[in-house]
Amino acid sequence: MIAVAVAVATALLATAILVPPVRLAAIKLGMVVPPGGRHAHTVPTPTAGGVAVFAGVWLAIIAGTSVMGIWPWSAALRGVFIGSVLLLVLCVIDDAWGLPVMPRLVGQILVGLIAWAHGVRIVGFGHPFYAETAGYIPLGWLSLPLTVIWIVFLINAVNWLDGLDGLAAGVIGVAAITLAIMAFSGLRSNVGLMSAALAAGCVAFLFYNFNPAKIFMGDSGAMFLGYMIACLSVLGAYKSTTLVAIAAPVLVLGVPIYDTITTVARRLLRRKPVYSADRGHLHHRLLDRGLSVRQTVLAIYALTAVLCLVALGLWFR
């Protein structure tokens, strides 16, 4: 537990310390999001705060694994790190100058392939009518496409969720805490430590990002959170051999999953490009019903917490 405490403290302090200089750098580089359109903020706000979250979380993981004696890192942990670095470079470019859809999608698929190649894999599921390994269903060659699809899906799901001050950081923070509990209960201390570090990084960023936000995380933050939570769910919950291995991570990440599925379905039905922007996301619909930004964010926090409690109930049952 000392290693976890070190990781959490490092993530909190490092992220909190790094956000102000990242904010100033974003302003000087012109990485500022103007108000208006689909945006709910009313003043120009710097973006790319995800750079601070990335650095804070990985510094925490390095500190925690050092205390835990995990060195050299496992192949899976190295793969997650390499993929996150490449994704960060892609997202900073996107935050600064903007990128077309296809280069972003290719980059997301590439980091998913890197993670899979290093052992971050959905390898099978438990049969719903059998217990433990007696009903285990291996995926075989399907492991590769399903793992990559899961990672790419969540990268975009969290990115689309990041539409209001503090929304993505809070939802992923709650989800990461839940995955940490699951990982520690399943004796996967390394995954638990990484999840705890991710949650702490989200909490620290919320001090600057909660409404009214002083800085946005941008794609560099939202896609990083989506990538990390996808990999951690695979390394933790999906390594189980029971049906809960499917239900638990889906429930924990229920809000971004629901929002993404309904958004894609709505755009396809209206014959619009999947990546076309609109005001049909869950948070937009709540705003249109008269809720304030803070009320909307807190309502989605509460919904996420309820889903996570249900997931934990299934997990420990």
**DSSP bridge pairs for 32:** 46
223 C-beta neighbours (distance < 10 Å), count: 28
DSSP 141: G
Name the phi and psi angles at 225, rounded to 5.
Answer: -65, -40
Tokens of 38: 């689909």
Q: Where are the beta strands (DSSP E) in the chain?
A: 32-33, 45-46, 124-126, 136-138
- How do strand 136-138 and strand 124-126 relate by DSSP bridges? antiparallel
Q: What is the pLDDT of residue 237?
A: 61
C-alpha distances in angstroms, 178 versus 61, 203, 305? 18, 14, 9
Environment class of 200 (CB within 10 Å of its CB; exposed 0-12, middle 13-18, buried 19+):
buried
Task: From first to last of the 317 residues of the chain, give the pLDDT tens digit.
Answer: 899 999 999 999 999 999 999 999 999 999 998 886 666 666 889 999 999 999 999 999 999 999 988 878 999 999 999 999 999 999 999 988 888 999 999 999 999 999 999 999 988 766 555 555 455 677 888 999 999 999 999 999 999 999 899 999 999 999 999 999 998 887 788 999 999 999 999 999 999 999 899 999 999 999 999 999 999 999 976 555 455 656 778 899 999 999 999 989 988 888 888 877 777 788 989 988 989 999 999 999 999 999 999 989 888 87
Tokens of 271: 């014959």
Q: What is the pLDDT of residue 161?
A: 93
| CA atoms of 90 and 95, how far apart (whole Å) | 9
Residue ranges per structural domain of the chain: 2-34+46-316
DSSP 174: H
DSSP 34: P
The residue behind tokens 């937009």 is 284
Q: Is-contact 6 193, C-beta < 8 A?
A: no
CA angle 45, 47, 51 (to 5 degrees): 150
CA angle 258, 140, 82 (to 5 degrees): 65
Q: Write b or e for each residue in 76-105: b if 16 or more Cβ atoms lie within 10 A of its Cβ, otherwise e.
A: bbebbbebbebbbebbbbbbbeebeeeebe
The residue behind tokens 């904010």 is 23
DSSP 69: T
Q: What is the pLDDT of residue 130?
A: 53
